[in-house]
Amino acid sequence: MTETATAPAAPGTGAPLLEARGLTKHFTVHRSQRRGRASLAGAGRRPAGSARETPVVHAVEDVSLSLLESGITAVVGESGSGKSTLARLLARLITPTAGELLLDGSPVPAVTRGRREYARDVQLVLQDPFSSLNPVHDVRYHLARPLRIHGLGGQGADLEAAMTGLLERVSLTPAEQFLSKYPHELSGGQRQRVAIARALAVRPRVLLADEPVSMLDVSIRLGVLNLLGDLRERDKLGILYITHDIASARYLADVIMVMYAGQVVETGPAATLTDEPAHPYTQLLLSAAPDPDRPEPLSLQGRGSPPSLVDPPSGCRFHPRCPHAMAVCAEVTPPGTPVADRHVSACWLHVSGLTAAQRRSLTSATTTPGGTGLPGSPASPGHDPDPSPSPATGGEET
């Protein structure tokens, strides 16, 4: 069946269903890993009496967001940027180091008590549907279990009707043929639809979709994206869509939030952010997205690897890779600066009043062998900032 691309619905409005304020998560480095890091660094014996500081991974730092009814917010970033950790924080699978969650405006307690009631409102769909489904149980078991746990499906014919209805909502028809199938008997797209149906079983109001199409064939990604859009419209769900593909984020979401090395570097309306990216990292992501209309071969300046989150760079964490890095970028974390309506960028390029010393260019960050300028930056004014590829083609991970 051929999927038809449809325009996203209007952004969600009203009070946030789920809100995060200043969420931070640090993971303690395991002792064996600490020994390995010390030996690789050639660390000597600690002086007597010196303080032992336990290293931590700064996975998520001071992230705030709001999920509205009938709204879709996309979180975009390369591997290791903290996207999945953020999803697990919002699902209360892990406890934040700092910050708070609010559901319907009321603070969510950090303790595990009340987790079942919270899970009824906030559900998580994982990246790999084959791993998230138990291979020894059929589809009927996966759908009946949450219905029974939350007392929603009834018994006998009522339970069967509830499971059939769930499969029909995710376009797995005829539903009776799928109830007796096992995960290995389904395609990747069908498995992901079963995982979504299982999440919908408890009638949530918020759906956290952690890279739901990255494990699927290119030909069926658009179908799952359109399914998420339909659920937003029919069930008024607030959806968090996590992806490394900024093209699919533009297609599906109302708002895009770009993360790098655990921090939010830019956020704004999807069309505005992709048409006029304000942060150099967002420009880098857009330049790496497939674009058949790009007039010249792809050439990325400032390429490299994300930093170690055990010892992240000072100041802006992107400055070692940024072709526009200034002295202030290496010293002070940039504040979120409005660059347009509802469009905020955490970059010193948009802050006025810097001194000449602060604006001094860091030549080590701006000179990269083989680079000819970052597409979309002031150095390449002729670049079309809108990649607008079809989300069915998928994005290449940077």
According to the model, what pLDDT value does residue 393 have? 43
pLDDT higher than 60, residue 209: yes
According to the model, what pLDDT value does residue 10 have? 44
Instruction: Tell me the per-residue pLDDT of 329-369, one tens digit each, with 9 for 90 and over.
Output: 999 999 999 999 999 999 999 999 999 999 999 855 444 43
- Measuring CA to CA, which residue among 321, 369, 378, 316 is closest to residue 347? 316
The third-level CATH classification (topology) of the domain covering 16-26+56-257 is Rossmann fold (3.40.50)
Q: What is the pTM of this model?
A: 0.82
Sheet architecture: strand order including 263-269:
122-125, 206-210, 238-243, 72-76, 255-260, 263-269, 343-345, 337-340
Sole residue written with tokens 């009824």: 120
pLDDT higher than 50, residue 246: yes
Sole residue written with tokens 């619905």: 9
Which pLDDT band, with edges at 50, 70 and 90, does 290 fall under? confident
Distances (CA, A) of 200 to 129, 205, 396: 15, 9, 30
Distances (CA, A) of 194 to 125, 161, 183, 186, 190: 10, 16, 9, 9, 6
Q: Which long-range contacts (CB under 8 A, 24 or more apart) does 91-98 make?
A: 91/119, 91/122, 91/123, 91/124, 91/208, 92/118, 92/119, 92/122, 93/124, 94/25, 96/23, 96/24, 96/25, 96/60, 97/24, 97/25, 97/26, 98/22, 98/23, 98/24, 98/62
**Average pLDDT, rounded, for the chain:** 83
| Gap between the Cα atoms of 85 and 66, Å rounded | 17
Lowest mean pLDDT among 21-25, 58-62, 144-148, 288-292: 288-292
Q: Which two tokens stand for residue 46?
A: 């600690």
Task: Identify whether the C-beta of residue 211 lies closer than 8 Å to the C-beta of residue 127.
Answer: yes
Determine what percent of the chain falls in helix, strand and coil, rounding each to the nearest 5. 30, 20, 50
Q: First-to-last CA distance in the chain?
A: 31
According to the model, what pLDDT value does residue 2 have? 38
Which pLDDT band, with edges at 50, 70 and 90, does 314 fall under? very high
Distances (CA, A) of 156 to 100, 148, 162, 297: 41, 12, 10, 61
According to the model, what pLDDT value does residue 363 have? 59
Which pLDDT band, with edges at 50, 70 and 90, does 297 fall under? low
Instruction: Tell me the per-residue pLDDT of 122-179, one tens digit each, with 9 for 90 and over.
Output: 999 998 888 889 999 999 999 999 999 998 877 888 999 999 999 999 999 999 999 9
Higher pLDDT, 46 or 192: 192
Sign of CA dihedral 249, 255, 261, 265: positive
Domains in the chain: boundaries: 16-26+56-257
pLDDT higher than 50, residue 106: yes
Q: Which two tokens stand for residue 247?
A: 């093209």
- Measuring CA to CA, which residue among 288, 280, 279, 289 is closest to residue 251? 289
What mean pLDDT do residues 106-110 have?
86
What mean pLDDT do residues 260-270 have?
96
**Gyration radius from the chain CA atoms:** 23
352 Cβ contact partners less than 8 Å away, ≥ 6 residues apart: none
